[in-house]
A and B are shown apart, each in its own frame.
Chain A
Amino acid sequence: MPNVKGLIEKMEMKPKLYIRTNTLKIKTKDLKERLVSKGFELEDTILDDVLAVKKETFRTGATTEYLLGYYYIQDLSSCLAVDALDVRENQTVLDMASAPGGKTTYISQKMKNTGILVALETNARRIRALLFNLRRCGVINTCIFKMDGNKAMDLNMRFDRVILDAPCSCEGIIAKDKSRKTNHKPEDIEFCAGRQSSLIETAIRVVKPGGLLVYSTCSFAPEENEIIVNVLLEKLKNVEIEPISYGSEGLTNFGVLNFNPALKNTRRFYPHIHDTLGFYIAKLRLPN
């Protein structure tokens, strides 16, 4: 990891706040005007739909515009995962771990509320949050299954796009949630890695030929990122890793381990370098 001291210092600071315009309801330009007129200071980011909040005069999660579903508070790194999914209108898309709905609602807006978006979630309380966000954002092209991602084969469907934002140790969000520094143990990474391996293997099986799988976590641990993808590549030689425009290159070795060189096409996001939460994204393409 580059500049570890810088990372540790950055993790003690409040992370940068980003909002993503819900273009199903408003244009980014119009949202920006409205919030600026209320005293907000906003700046553009590498994504057209995403703005960084430099100054908030109201709590960003309590404005009328937020309640009306004009924007979603979402880290830039999470938006980049959806951007990598390259979603088009009228496609069939699966979100394997969907609550609370940041990526789901972003995918829906990229599909312009067309096609089929299937969202999986097991936890009833998290489904409630997901429902609220889908409703707030005016999403009509989504159905929710109370189902573990590992059972996605039971849907008996194949998808043009699959996103697996895998449950992880959440090392990358320590800046947002300080309790993560002490409430996770090294064994948790091992536990998460086991779950991630099984989820990614299911995910790749439900992608249509020529389709895309985006795998992401909010962890820095290679055990939850490159190692998971590397094991999949060893099993499925025909899967390709496509490059992503932003972020630092993925690791091609870790300690004594050497990975498939294509793993450099995956991307790592570091708080002290990219001003995002810690994040990892891999974009995998199935051959036709």
Chain B
Amino acid sequence: MKRAFDKWGVFDFFKDKSILVKEIENYNIREVYFLSNEIEKIALLKQPSYAGLMIGQLKKQFSLSIEGADLVSKISKQFPYIIVNETAEKSILYGKNVFSRSIISTSKMIDENEVVIILNSKRETIAVGKTRFADNLLLQEDKVVVTTMIDAGLYLRSEGKIKDKK
């Protein structure tokens, strides 16, 4: 996890912050929560079902949740990202992948198969994705270049609540 925090440029931020790792039985997953210091004390003492904000999951590697990605985008200066246009924003929030023509700009030195934070034109975190190409190839015409892994609309879709976005 330290390696992941370092990669995302948030290692220093979390140095003096409270982090809680929760085992999810039968799924071989550990959820990582960011919490205030006061809530940490309660969590250790009283063992609630949940405490704080889930910022990601640990399987073999640490993967960011949308909330974790949002935190990273606000406090880090060195994370891989792509910025997409308004039309793409809407489709990504429905779980669609990212076409090259939707990308306005990217961070430097992006590798193939790299996890990137997908930002809208206002630089707000809308999704996390994985690149299919590196660097300039991300801007090639008419190809899906980033696979959307999670997006901010995921929960509502899973609940079947978004039906008639006009």
**What is A's interface to B at a CB cutoff of 8 Å?**
57-59, 61-62, 64, 67-68, 90, 113-116, 118, 127, 129, 131-132, 134-136, 138-146, 155, 157
Per the bound structure, the CA–CA distance linking A154 and B54 in Å amounts to 26
Residue contact A59 to B38, C-beta cutoff 8 Å: no
Residue contact B38 to A116, C-beta cutoff 8 Å: yes
B9, CB-defined interface residue at 8 Å: no
Per the bound structure, the CA–CA distance linking A136 and B164 in Å amounts to 21
Residue contact A62 to B152, C-beta cutoff 8 Å: no
- Return 27 A-B CB contacts under 8 Å, by A number: A57-B166, A58-B165, A59-B164, A61-B161, A62-B161, A62-B164, A67-B93, A67-B152, A67-B153, A68-B124, A68-B152, A90-B38, A114-B38, A118-B42, A127-B49, A134-B53, A139-B53, A140-B35, A140-B39, A141-B39, A142-B39, A143-B42, A143-B50, A143-B52, A144-B50, A146-B49, A155-B46
Q: Considering the complex, give the chain A residue whose CB is closest to the CB of B17.
A: A140
Residue contact B67 to A143, C-beta cutoff 8 Å: no
B92 to chain A, nearest CB (A): 10
Q: Considering the complex, give the chain B residue whose CB is closest to the CB of A58.
A: B166
B16 to chain A, nearest CB (A): 14
Residue contact B65 to A115, C-beta cutoff 8 Å: no
Q: Considering the complex, give the chain B residue whose CB is closest to the CB of A133.
A: B155
Residue contact A144 to B51, C-beta cutoff 8 Å: yes
Residue contact B126 to A68, C-beta cutoff 8 Å: yes
Chain B CB within 10 A, most for which of A64, A127, A143, A144: A143
- Chain A residue numbers with a CB within 8 Å of B152 are 64, 67-68, 136
Given contacts A64-B126, A116-B38, A143-B39, contact A132 B155 (CB under 8 A): yes
**Sample of 14 further A-B pairs with CB below 8 A, known A142-B39, A143-B35:** A64-B124, A64-B152, A67-B126, A67-B152, A118-B48, A127-B50, A135-B54, A136-B155, A141-B36, A141-B39, A143-B43, A143-B46, A144-B48, A144-B51
Which 9 A-B pairs rank lowest in CB-CB distance, beginning with the nearest?
A143-B51, A143-B48, A67-B152, A144-B50, A62-B165, A146-B49, A140-B53, A132-B155, A141-B36
Residue contact B50 to A114, C-beta cutoff 8 Å: no
Set A59, A61, A127, A140: member contacting B52, Cβ < 8 A: A140
Q: Considering the complex, give the chain A residue whose CB is closest to the CB of B18.
A: A140
Per the bound structure, the CA–CA distance linking A113 and B53 in Å amounts to 11
B81, CB-defined interface residue at 8 Å: no
Residue contact B52 to A142, C-beta cutoff 8 Å: yes
- Chain A residue numbers with a CB within 8 Å of B35 are 140-141, 143
Residue contact A131 to B50, C-beta cutoff 8 Å: yes
Given contacts A59-B165, A62-B156, contact A115 B51 (CB under 8 A): no
Q: Considering the complex, give the chain A residue whose CB is closest to the CB of B48.
A: A143
Chain B 81-121 interface residues, beta-carbon cutoff 8 Å to A: 89-90, 93, 120
- Chain A residue numbers with a CB within 8 Å of B66 are 135
- Chain B residue numbers with a CB within 8 Å of A118 are 42, 48
B127 to chain A, nearest CB (A): 10
- Chain B residue numbers with a CB within 8 Å of A134 are 53
- Chain A residue numbers with a CB within 8 Å of B38 are 90, 114-116, 141
Residue contact A145 to B65, C-beta cutoff 8 Å: no
Given contacts A127-B49, A135-B53, A144-B48, contact A64 B89 (CB under 8 A): yes
Per the bound structure, the CA–CA distance linking A157 and B65 in Å amounts to 32
Q: Considering the complex, give the chain B residue whose CB is closest to the CB of A61.
A: B161
Per the bound structure, the CA–CA distance linking A195 and B12 in Å amounts to 49
Per the bound structure, the CA–CA distance linking A61 and B155 in Å amounts to 12
A198 to chain B, nearest CB (A): 23
Chain A CB within 10 A, most for which of B42, B51, B120: B42
Chain B CB within 10 A, most for which of A58, A61, A142: A142
B4, CB-defined interface residue at 8 Å: no
Set A64, A67, A131, A143: member contacting B156, Cβ < 8 A: A67
- Chain B residue numbers with a CB within 8 Å of A61 are 156, 161-162
Q: Considering the complex, give the chain A residue whose CB is closest to the CB of B41.
A: A116
